[in-house]
Amino acid sequence: MTHAPDPKIYYDGAEFGPSEVARLTGVSPEVQRDWRRRGILAMRVEGRARFYSTQVAELLVRKALNDVGVPLTSAGGAVALGGLELFWAAMQEVGALERAEGLSEEEHRYIDAEAKRKPSLRYLVVPHPHLTAEDFEAKLGKPLQMMRELLPAWPASDLDGIARAAETFQVFGVCSWSVIDVGALAAKFAKEAERPIAVVRPGAKPERRDA
């Protein structure tokens, strides 16, 4: 049995200025400039600073991680994965996704099905003190390649996943952790953006250049 290829559509993220991003994330324009100078933050600059909605999503995750003690330069994989899942979850909120003209019925059905997709990540769990890949490898006696870029954040798709993470931490004698609710951040982003955060359009996605 063969499957039809996915429709040729793309999600065109909205753009936000520094003041809007400050309102949405709590990261002031001054801090944004500092993080950009330090290579922590990327944004598009064409005469003025602009952020794509996917970059706003990543910034929300990065700030949440930093608020619970994760250094800004750590957990790049968790920022990328968490930001992507936050963006997709936010688009499922009412009014967050606009559909352009010219989409076929098949493409509309595909978009509807995508909106029902269960996220692979809902929470990020951060142990205190932080655990590193080296900690796990020393305990397990084998490389932990898949988790290396995510640590010290531990991904969980549901409450059972948080419980499993907690059990793992306790093996190392760690009994304290913080939980970041990526789904709640997504709902907040979609609501406070006050406009669609993306438009789904027919055709191939054009190339873009991030400064």
**H or E stretch at 161:** helix 159-171
The mean pLDDT of 72-96, rounded to a whole number, is 92
The mean pLDDT of 159-183, rounded to a whole number, is 95
pLDDT at 205 over 90: no
CB distance 32 to 21 below 8 Å: yes
Query: How confident is the model at residue 3, as a pLDDT?
Result: 45
pLDDT tens track for 173-202: 999 999 999 999 999 999 999 999 999 999
Task: State the greatest distance between any 2 C-alpha atoms of the chain, in Å, as a whole number.
Answer: 57
Decide: helix, strand or coil at residue 142: coil
Q: Which two tokens stand for residue 64?
A: 């949440």
Alpha carbon distance 52, 16 (integer Å)? 6
Q: Which two tokens stand for residue 197?
A: 């955060």
How far, CA to CA in Å, does 196 sit from each of 84, 100, 191?
A: 17, 12, 9
Residue with tokens 């250094």: 71
How far, CA to CA in Å, does 88 sit from each of 92, 145, 165, 178?
A: 7, 26, 24, 23
Query: How confident is the model at residue 46, as a pLDDT?
Result: 66
User: 155 - beta bridge partners?
Assistant: 124
How far, CA to CA in Å, does 155 sit from each of 22, 33, 110, 130, 161?
A: 26, 29, 27, 14, 8
- Closest by CA to 185, choosing from 100, 104, 83, is 83
CB distance 103 to 10 below 8 Å: no
Q: Which two tokens stand for residue 170?
A: 């306790």
**Confidence at 1, pLDDT banded by 50, 70, 90:** very low
174 burial type by CB count under 10 A (0-12 exposed, 13-18 middle, 19+ buried) = middle
Q: What is the average pLDDT score of the chain?
A: 89
How do 15-16 and 44-45 pair as beta strands? unpaired
**pTM for the whole thing?**
0.89
